[in-house]
Amino acid sequence: MLDLPEADFTMTSQPGVASSTWALGQAITTSQLPLGTYSITVDATDAGGDSVTGQPAGTLNYLIQPTVTLDASTGVLSYASPTTTLSGSVTGLWPDGSTRPVTSQLVILTSSDGQSLQTQTDASGDFTTSVSYAGTFTAGVSGSTLAPASSVPVIVTAATTPTALTASVSTTRASYGQQVTISGQLSYQPGTTSQGLAGMPVVVVAPGYPQLSVPATGQDGKYTATFTATQSGTVMVYFNNAQYQESGSFLYLAPADAATGAITVTRRTSLTQFSASVSTAKMVSVHGCVGIADLPPSAAGTVAGTITIQYAASKAGPWRRLGTVSKLASPGSDSCGIATVEAAFRGSFAVKLARAYYRASFAPKAGENLQGSVSGPVLAWKYLTKITSLKVSARRVAKGARLTVSGQLLQDTNRWIPYARRLVEIVYRKPKAKNTYWIIKVTTNSAGKFTATFRDTFSATWSAFFTGNATHYDCSSAGIRVTAS
């Protein structure tokens, strides 16, 4: 509390005005009164003897009047300059009229988005701090010994640096499960020219590949990544994309993305359960299954294409075309058991070699994105046979007369030898008839020879026929015309 006597004041009043102004003749010092805000009261007595005590007379702000300055080291944030230094000073006008720095004073910097920072003045009244975001900033001070004050606002803006990505793949046609490499470059343009952006992660998203690849760029901004091809499609590469936080987030750099050309992934097929068997009639019957070996269980698909049956004298080839099977059928209840998607095939073809290896070759339909496949070879064969030296006892006989037919049955076992103790049918075909019929069966002797005698009651062409068996093909002799009259 400071008591000041009337003698320290000078009263002035204007004519016709009831009130007067009292002015303190000498400044109050801080030795008299500490800095702060005070209430003023007046004790007074007039000439008539009336008096008042503790009459309120206003407030005295006995405070330092500060001046706050603020500046930014750069007014535009960018990738090259991601932070700015906010600095300034606080000077104060003391009640005694002196001006000097305000030291150890808390300074609060406030941005336009409501964020705030705190710093403190040093022995020179200066302060400094750094920020890495844009906004309008104001520095303010307040306290018990100084009046509130703020700086002029300082505006800091942000500039986004353009970026660009390139991407290419090592192949646009890959087999299922094949390793594919993607490569490219991340660049940015801090000025008028573009240059590689080093040490930055990019995100590689491959179709059907469950794992994201996040390679970092090299000193020249280039990157590479490898993934397993499982599905056709386009590979995407992203930088600074909000959807893929695995790559982080980079202020002041624009997002970028790139797409490769479409990759076609072909799936492996397999041919299994292939079998081949020959009949006595010199026909080979084939059967087998073709399927997509690596199709996931949840995927749908069909096997479409052509099966080519091939044959060769040797297991190693060369292979020749025998025929094709273009109609593939569902394996039905007899599942092939080789793949999620599969089809069965069957076919019969005329034998080209008595003893041959057979295999199936699958060629997918165009646009199916399937790989061809070949089955293992299967051996199927029988011995060749032939009937030679066929003779008749007469070319013209009376109806009902006896006719004798003879000949010899041979088999080829690297050379032609007699085929003993086998049934041979004596058959005929009447004039203008299409079919033949047997009339008698005879067994060959140890030399493979046979003879049959019977009554001939009609004109016909006579021949001999061996039906074949499990190890031998059938055969038929040339016909001999015999007239019965």
Structural contact between residues 33 and 62, judged by C-beta atoms closer than 8 angstroms: yes
338 has a pLDDT exceeding 70? no
Structural contact between residues 106 and 129, judged by C-beta atoms closer than 8 angstroms: no
- Mean pLDDT, rounded, of the chain: 88
Task: State the distance between the two ends of the chain, measured CA to CA, in whole angstroms.
Answer: 168
Query: What are the start and end residues of each CATH 2.60.40.10 domain in the chain?
Result: 65-158, 163-265, 269-381
Q: Which two tokens stand for residue 370?
A: 């399937």
Per-residue pLDDT averaged across 145-154, rounded?
Answer: 94
Could you say which of 3.30.950.10, 3.40.50.1820, 3.40.50.170, 2.60.40.10 is the CATH number of the domain covering 65-158? 2.60.40.10
331 has a pLDDT exceeding 60? no
Per-residue pLDDT averaged across 266-275, rounded?
Answer: 88
Q: Which pLDDT belongs to residue 177?
A: 87
Q: Which pLDDT belongs to residue 246?
A: 57
Structural contact between residues 173 and 91, judged by C-beta atoms closer than 8 angstroms: no
* 163-265 fold: Immunoglobulin-like (2.60.40)
Query: How far apart, in Å, are the Cα atoms of 393 and each of 239, 439, 453?
Result: 100, 16, 9
Tell which residue, 358, 337, 235, has the closest CA to residue 286.
Answer: 358
Q: Which of 227-231, 462-466, 469-473 has the lowest mean pLDDT?
A: 227-231
CATH architecture, range 385-484: Sandwich (2.60)
197 has a pLDDT exceeding 50? yes
Q: Can you spell out the DSSP letters for 28-95?
A: PPTTTS-SEEEEEEEEEE-TTS-EEEEEEEEEEEE-BEEEEEEEES-SEE-SSS--EEEEEEEEEE-T
pTM of the predicted protein model:
0.62
Write the pLDDT tens digit of every residue in 200-212: 999 999 998 877 8
Tell which residue, 36, 149, 60, 154, has the closest CA to residue 102.
Answer: 149
User: Which residues share a beta bridge with 316?
Assistant: none
Query: How far apart, in Å, are the Cα atoms of 427 and each of 130, 401, 439, 441, 461?
Result: 114, 17, 6, 9, 8
439 has a pLDDT exceeding 50? yes
Q: Which two tokens stand for residue 457?
A: 């009651």
Write the pLDDT tens digit of every residue in 375-433: 999 999 999 999 999 999 999 999 999 999 999 999 999 999 999 999 999 999 999 99
Q: Which pLDDT belongs to residue 300?
A: 56
Write the pLDDT tens digit of every residue in 77-134: 998 899 999 999 999 998 878 899 999 999 999 999 999 999 999 999 999 999 999 9
Query: What are the start and end residues of each CATH 2.60.40.730 domain in the chain?
Result: 385-484
Query: How far apart, in Å, are the Cα atoms of 84 and each of 71, 79, 135, 189, 280?
Result: 10, 12, 11, 21, 96
* 269-381 fold: Immunoglobulin-like (2.60.40)
Q: Can you spell out the DSSP letters for 246-257?
A: GG---TTB--EE
